[in-house]
């Protein structure tokens, strides 16, 4: 990795990925500034400044760009749940606001747009590693808005010569992961059983498999891509390996201090899908490879959840 540090702006800096990215950038001497809807005390010692704004507010966002004048921008801010209008305004209009602000302020800023594997949706390559040129068929409103975000970013890159790199990030796991995501959901339930707050774990479909990768590996990939990636290109950020949800459950149960009762969620769908990415383009551009095994990621997640519960 190029150790020549500069000034970085992270949108969504108080989120799961944003905090890990800021921590990694700090190791190499970057001056880091954040944009977030909410404050997070965990980032206070890492960020040089944090601006509590909504990226849907163009003028506020432009004011931050003008004040910070970053060399690189990591655009991580996004909305995952809610109605279509809300997700569209944040994921698409918010991205347009950022690109317009950069266009107005400083065209030679390098910008990483964080997309999602949800853009692929139902592909013909299910179970096989998905390449970046795979046709996209989003199955969710979130995936639809992220696909629109990436298309918009590449349009701006081509029309206005903005230095944009797009990534499609697959399933991340690690300390700080939101409980709504499957690995964290199981980890939280394990800790509630350990603490006597529950006596069972409710699971959904265990037959599906996903491409899980440690969030700390992912942010290393982002940093290398924003320095070495080909402008205007899409890169999968993934491990290239399928892990069954059954394996995630068994691994976390093996780390549990008690053996909880398992119960099937009666409302869950019988999901047997297998979604895996191909990280060949990322490796070719940067030499990056994931370094943290899934077992360590799950252990670190579980220890983080235990610590969170010990303070509540």
pLDDT of 230 > 70? The answer is yes
Number of domains in the chain: 2
- 124 and 260 part of one domain: no
- Whether 1 is in a domain gets the answer no
Q: For the domain that residue 90 is a member of, what is the CATH number?
A: 3.40.50.720
Which of 15, 72, 71, 75 has the alpha carbon at shortest distance from 43? 15
Which pTM does this prediction carry? 0.94
Q: At what angle do helices 215-228 and 16-27 cross, to 10 degrees?
A: 60
Specify the higher pLDDT residue, 248 or 310.
248
Token reading at 208: 């599906």
- 102 and 217 part of one domain: yes
- 262 and 141 part of one domain: no
- Whether 22 is in a domain gets the answer yes
Q: Rounded to whole angstroms, what are the CA distances from 215 to 28, 30, 194?
A: 18, 19, 26
- 204 and 223 part of one domain: no
Residue 1: band (very low, low, confident or very high) from pLDDT cuts 50, 70, 90: very low
- 84 and 192 part of one domain: no
- Whether 2 is in a domain gets the answer no
Segments forming the whole domain that contains residue 304: 182-209+243-274+298-310
Residues 46 and 18 sit within 8 Å (Cβ to Cβ): no
- 61 and 146 part of one domain: yes
pLDDT of 241 > 70? The answer is yes
Q: What is the pLDDT of residues 41-69, one digit of tens each?
A: 777 789 999 999 999 999 999 999 999 99
Q: For the domain that residue 186 is a member of, what is the CATH number?
A: 3.90.25.10
């Amino acid at each position: 990795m190029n150790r020549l540090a500069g000034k970085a702006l992270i949108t969504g800096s108080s989120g799961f990925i944003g905090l890990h990215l800021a921590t990694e950038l700090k190791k190499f001497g970057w001056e880091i500034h954040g944009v977030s809807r909410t404050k997070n005390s965990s980032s206070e010692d890492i960020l040089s400044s944090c601006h509590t704004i909504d990226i849907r507010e163009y003028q506020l966002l432009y004011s931050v760009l003008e004040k910070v004048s970053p060399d690189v921008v990591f655009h991580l801010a996004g909305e995952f749940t809610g109605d279509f209008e809300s997700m569209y305004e944040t994921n698409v209009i918010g991205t347009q606001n950022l690109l317009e602000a950069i266009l107005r302020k400083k065209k030679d800023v390098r910008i990483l747009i964080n997309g999602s594997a949800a853009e692929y949706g139902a592909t013909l390559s299910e179970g096989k590693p998905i390449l970046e040129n795979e046709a996209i068929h989003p199955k969710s409103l979130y995936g639809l808005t992220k696909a629109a975000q990436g298309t918009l970013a590449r349009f701006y890159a081509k029309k206005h010569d903005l230095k944009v790199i797009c990534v499609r990030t697959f399933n991340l796991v690690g300390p700080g992961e939101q409980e709504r995501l499957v690995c964290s959901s199981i980890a939280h339930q394990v800790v509630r059983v350990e603490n006597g707050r529950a006596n069972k774990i409710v699971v959904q479909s265990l037959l599906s498999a996903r491409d899980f990768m440690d969030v700390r590996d992912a942010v290393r990939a982002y940093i290398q891509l924003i320095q070495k990636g080909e402008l205007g290109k899409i890169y999968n950020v993934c491990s290239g390996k399928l892990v069954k949800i059954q394996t995630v459950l068994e691994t976390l149960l093996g780390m549990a201090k008690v053996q909880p009762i398992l119960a099937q969620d009666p409302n869950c769908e019988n999901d047997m899908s297998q979604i895996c990415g191909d990280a060949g383009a990322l490796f070719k551009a940067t030499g990056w490879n994931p370094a943290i095994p899934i077992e360590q990621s799950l252990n670190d997640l579980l220890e983080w959840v235990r610590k969170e519960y010990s303070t509540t």
